[in-house]
Amino acid sequence: MDKYIIKGGNPLVGEVEITGAKNAALAILAASTMTNETVTIENMPDEADTNVLLGTMNDLGVFTHRTTRHTVRVNAAKARNFPIDNEDIKKIRASYYLIGALLGRFKRAKVVLPGGCAIGLRPIDQHMKGFAALGASCRIEHGFIIAEAKELHGAHIYLDVVSVGATINIMMAATLASGQTIIENAAKEPHVVDLANFLNSMGAHIKGAGTDVIRIRGVEKLHGTDYAIIPDQIEAGTFMMASAVTRGDITVTNIIPKHLESISAKLKEMGCELSEHDDAVRVICKDRIRSTHVKTLPYPGFPTDMQPQITVALGLSAGVSIVTESIFENRFKYIDELTSMGANIKVEGSTAIISGVERYTGAHIAAPDLRAGAALVLAGLVAEGFTTIDNIRFIERGYEDFYMKLRALGATIERVEDERSEQRFRLKYA
Ligand code: EPZ
């Protein structure tokens, strides 16, 4: 099994270019199946999750072609509406975006229940409520979600919880429904706005994305487009936090600073110096981090997808910090691993009470999910001695070239496939 091995201790210094946003890319890829015409998508990340979705689209008869590493051409003229079920698609959450897309286009979709990171219960009741309001009958049968309608009509939908996935899914189906749909209490995340912009560039009429009320006037059909995906704010945030953890000096480029405001604000509270440019942010952290409190919230609040990374940073702060996870109830599973590296953190329900320690020490640990896995890599980068991280497939689901980008910033990290390569690394850097 592949793993990362890290020799900790180097401050990370330099520039890192951020790729397109994974979670926007997944929604946009699904939406690209809603037209017969050719769609060209730029800034497409080359990661396991996007590649799994592309593979599944191929199984449906959709033509996809990466013309460059980060540009994909899609033509869904020959798409067939088969039930969607394969071992890989079961593992990714975004498989459920194909329900909204196919329901909109074919008025019927059958998709295997989604997997994704095991970070909590992750129900889909709000998606189903939205589809039902649009006139579809929805049911879960034999492990599949089935949604079908004679025709879809606009509706007024109030989401009981702010859900990124439900907002995106309803927006896609409503785009090809007749009449007007209003989604209230909608998610405001940058990738919700990105999908709305993408659909509008295909001829949709969506207004209000980025606020909590989205208005969609249904259209009969969508056309082809050329579109570039926004940069990944969580990848950017992860490298910004790497600067804090390693007391480094990292400039993240190809970003939208506005999307990073909640992360930047916390880094400043923690004592880091930040300088913002049009499409870059430089994060310099010279001294020991100051403690602070964090509560995860829907956008524009502090993102749950950055909770493990900031916890790893605060674990090294001077003082006591409190981190409250309010989106997913099971997102502290990595704390056991961090404790084995010397962290002093107590979890009580959805709260982590962090008593900062002066140092982490290397250990053999495993990534429990995507963001926690990346956070544990950050811990390894600053830990004394060697850290080995198993289950890196979770990390590689959503970070393109992660260890290579870290290496370019000065990290001593290698991806190894067997014990011998691991031993070679240990001997080389002993
Ligand atoms: C998206 O998940 C992201 N995934 C997650 O990214 C991210 O953590 C999450 O949004 C929050 O920002 C993708 O975009 C593919 P939600 P999603 O629906 O859409 C509850 C990563 O690391 N809820 O906004 O599944 C739910 O339980 C990941 O990249 C319902 O109760 O999240 C949660 O408490 C992991 N009923 C809250 O809403 C529903 O029908 C927010 O979930 C739907 C959600």
Which protein residue's CA is at the shortest distance from atom 35 of ligand 1? 117
Beta carbons of 385 and 425 less than 8 angstroms apart: no
**DSSP 8-class letter at 189:** -
Does ligand 1 have an atom closer than 6 angstroms to the CB of 305? yes
Quick one: pLDDT band at residue 1, thresholds 50, 70, 90? confident
Structure confidence at residue 116 (pLDDT): 63
* pLDDT tens-digit map of 196-208: 999 999 999 999 9
pLDDT at 84 over 90: no
User: What's 19's DSSP letter?
Assistant: -
CB of 163 shorter than 6 A to ligand 1: yes
Is 285 annotated as catalytic?
no
Nearest CA to ligand 1 atom 30: 123
For residue 333, give every residue at least 6 positions away whose Cβ sits within 8 Å of its Cβ, in sequence order, or none: 118, 119, 368, 369, 372
Report the C-alpha gap between 332 and 408 in whole angstroms: 30
CATH numbers and ranges of domains, the chain: 3-18+231-429 (3.65.10.10), 22-228 (3.65.10.10)
Question: Using CA positions, which residue lies closest to atom 17 of ligand 1?
Answer: 165
Order of strands across the sheet with 38-42? 63-68, 71-75, 38-42, 225-228
Which band of pLDDT confidence, cut at 50, 70 and 90, is reported for residue 120?
Answer: low
Tokens coding 79: 């798409």
- Per-residue pLDDT band for 112 (boundaries 50, 70, 90) equals confident
Q: Is the CB of 125 under 6 A from ligand 1?
A: yes
228 CA distance to ligand 1 middle (Å): 23
The residue whose CB lies within 8 Å of the most ligand 1 atoms, and thus the one to mutate among 162, 163, 305, 334, is: 163
Q: Is 304 in the pocket of ligand 1 (CB under 6 A)?
A: yes
Closest atom of ligand 1 to 122 CA is 27
CA of 266 to the centre of ligand 1 (A): 22
Maximum C-alpha span of the chain: 67
Tokens of 283: 């994060």
CA-closest residue to ligand 1 atom 18: 163
- Which residue's CA lies nearest to atom 5 of ligand 1? 305
User: Is-contact 3 202, C-beta < 8 A?
Assistant: no
Quick one: average pLDDT of 214-242? 98
Relative to beta strand 205-207, strand 213-217 is: antiparallel
pLDDT band for 117, please (50, 70, 90 cuts): low
**Residues, the chain, total?**
430
Average pLDDT, whole number, for the chain?
95
How far is the C-alpha of 374 from the C-alpha of 367, rounded, in Å? Answer: 8
Find out whether the beta carbon of 164 lies less than 6 Å from any atom of ligand 1: yes
| pTM of the shown model | 0.97
DSSP per position, 260-318: GHHHHHHHHHTT-EEEE-SSEEEEE--SPPBP-EEEB-STTSB-GGGHHHHHHHHTTSB
Which residue shows structure tokens 């996007």? Answer: 50
The answer, yes or no, to whether residue 377 has pLDDT greater than 90, is yes
Q: Which atom of ligand 1 is nearest to the CA of 191?
A: 14
- What is the CA(293)–ligand 1 centre distance, in A? 23
- Tokens 């509706």 locate to 155
Query: In 186-260, which ranges are continuous DSSP H helix?
Result: 190-201, 233-246
327 in contact with ligand 1, CB cutoff 6 A = yes
264: Cβ below 6 Å to ligand 1? no
The per-residue pLDDT for range 391-402, each reduced to its tens digit, is 999 999 999 999
Calculate how far, in angstroms, residue 209's C-alpha sits from the geometric centre of ligand 1.
17
User: If you take atom 26 of ligand 1, which residue's CA is the nearest one?
Assistant: 122
Over residues 35-51, mean pLDDT: 97
The verdict on the CB of residue 292 being under 6 Å from ligand 1 is no
Confidence band of 424 (pLDDT split at 50, 70, 90)? very high
Please say if the pLDDT value at position 343 is more than 90: yes
Q: Which of the listed residues 49, 92, 111, 122 should we mutate to test ligand 1's pocket, taking the one with most ligand atoms within 8 A of CB?
A: 122
